[in-house]
Structure 1
């Protein structure tokens, strides 16, 4: 099983982003996803900057994939999407069907990102026909669901046509909206947000009246309050999953990649997850819960 570093979902200053990815070059991540997937107003790095960074990382021998936005709302965003899809060098993670269509028209193989609602073998067959070579399973689905779906893919004769990647660590993107929840939390309009999300480099936590962390606000994205962690499940996952994804949420996320590598190589034993981490969705139980 390979390890991947998912696209950065938060808004960081440019120098912090560059520092993080320069360190990632020496990490155990074999695949690195780059690009803005949440909000086009986040312009610390422009498309040219992302592609230059991709060139630099690719020279180290790692696989680089450019991730696209999950929700496009303007002609300018579509123009940037085309620029990425037609870069002519790096693979693309498509996070909406507009990207799938552009890539299919240009006969460019692609990764189907977790933001695309792909829940059965029939849809996977449609996507493989359009050029999908890797599928990132939607974050809320379970191991049993994955097994059944892959069995259905075997019956359709497409199982060997794509890799399976699973979101294994990080705050899970649960929903997207045209509204910006971070701006709203500061009583700002989306069009006059003052890029306030840069003040929350790990998103803005929301709690219940009892103090339980239930969600993380990240622009138009609502994430899980607990951090998803499948490190204990890696040995079993390796039978059906090709790639485990670590979603970065702080500079120390690269240490998580190293811990996952140690687990895969048998250097790290099963551990008890801390209270703010969970693995519920993998076991088809409520996401906040943890299966021991």
Structure 2
């Protein structure tokens, strides 16, 4: 199995982003996803900046994929989407069907991102016909569901035509909205948000009255309150998953990649998940729960 560093979901200052990806040059990641997937107002890096970073990483023998946004709301965002899809150098992760359409029109192979609702073999076949080469499984699906889907793909004769990637580590993107929850939490209007999400480099926790962290607010994106961690479950991925994704949260992501590399190589040891970690979805139980 290969390891992937997913797209950065948070809003960081440009220098922080560049420093992070300089470290990624020598990380355990085989594949690195780049680009803004959450909010077009986050313009610390422009499209050309992401492409320049992509070239540096590609020179270091990393496979680079440019990720598109999951929710587009304005013509300017479609313009940026076309720039990404027509970059001519790097594969693209499509996170909405608009991106799929543009990539299919241009006959560009693509990755189907986890934001696209793809839950059965028939949809996978449709996406393959449009150029999909890799499917990132929706985050809420279980191992049992994956086994069922792959069996259906085998029956359709398409199983060998795509790779399977699994979101395995990080706060899980659960939903997207036209509203900005981070701005709302500061009593700001979305159109006058002052880019306040840059103050929350790993999102803003949302807790219950009992002080349980149920969600993380990240602009228009709602994430799981607990960090998803499938490190102990790597052996159960054998024969099902081709690529394991770690979602960036800071320099500790590189340590996580090292841990997953050890698990893939069979040299790691099982860990006790922390109180704010979970693995429920993979085990077909409530997402915030943990099966040790």
| Pairwise TM-score range, normalised by the shorter structure | over 0.9
Q: Which residue of 1 is the match for residue 282 of structure 2? A: 282
Q: After TM superposition, which residue ranges in structure 1, 4 or more long, deviate above 6 angstroms?
A: none
Task: Show CA shifts across 1:232-284 (max 9, x none).
Answer: 01112022000000001122211111111111112211111011101000011
| Residue aligning to 1:35 | 35
2: CA distance, partners of 1:137 / 1:7: 15
Distance 1:81 1:231 in 2: 34
Tell me what 2:2 maps to: 2
Secondary structure in 2 aligned to 1:70? coil
TM-score norm. by structure 2 comes to 0.99
Give the match for residue 176 of structure 2: 176
Please show how residues 1-292 of structure 1 align to structure 2 within 5 Å: 1-292=1-292
Instruction: Measure the CA separation in 2 of the matches of 1:239 and 1:227.
Output: 25
SS of residue in 2 equivalent to 1:226: strand
Q: C-alpha distance in 2, partners of 1:161/1:266? A: 27
Can you list the C-alpha shifts for 1:149-174, whole angstroms capped at 9, x where unaligned? 00000111110100000000000000
Distance 1:236 1:142 in 2: 11
Give the C-alpha shift of residue 96 in structure 1. 0.2
Task: Output the CA distance in 1 between the equivalents of 2:95 and 2:286.
Answer: 25
Query: Distance between the aligned counterparts of 2:238 and 2:202, measured in 1?
Result: 29
Return the alpha-carbon distance in structure 1 between the equivalents of residues 83 and 248 of structure 2. 25
Give 1:228 deviation, angstroms.
0.3
Q: In 2, distance between residues paired with 1:266 and 1:153?
A: 29
Deviation at 1:197, TM superposition (A): 0.0
> What SS is found at the alignment partner of 1:216?
strand
Q: Could you give the per-residue CA deviations for residues 30-82 of structure 1, whole angstroms, max 9, x where no partner exists? A: 00000000000000000000000000100000100000000000110000000
Partner of 1:43, secondary structure, is: coil
CA separation in 2, counterparts of 1:194 and 1:252? 28
CA deviation profile, 1:112-141 (whole Å, cap 9, x unmatched): 000000000000000000000000000000
- Give me the whole-angstrom Cα distance separating, in 1, the residues matched to 2:219 and 2:261: 31
Aligned length: 292
Q: Calculate the aligned-residue CA RMSD, in Å.
A: 0.5
Structure 1 CA distance for aligned equivalents of residues 109 and 278 of structure 2: 34
The separation in 2 between residues aligned to 1:264 and 1:111, in whole angstroms, is 22
CA distance in 2, matches of 1:219, 1:249: 15
Give 3-state SS (helix, strand or coil) of 1:214's partner: strand
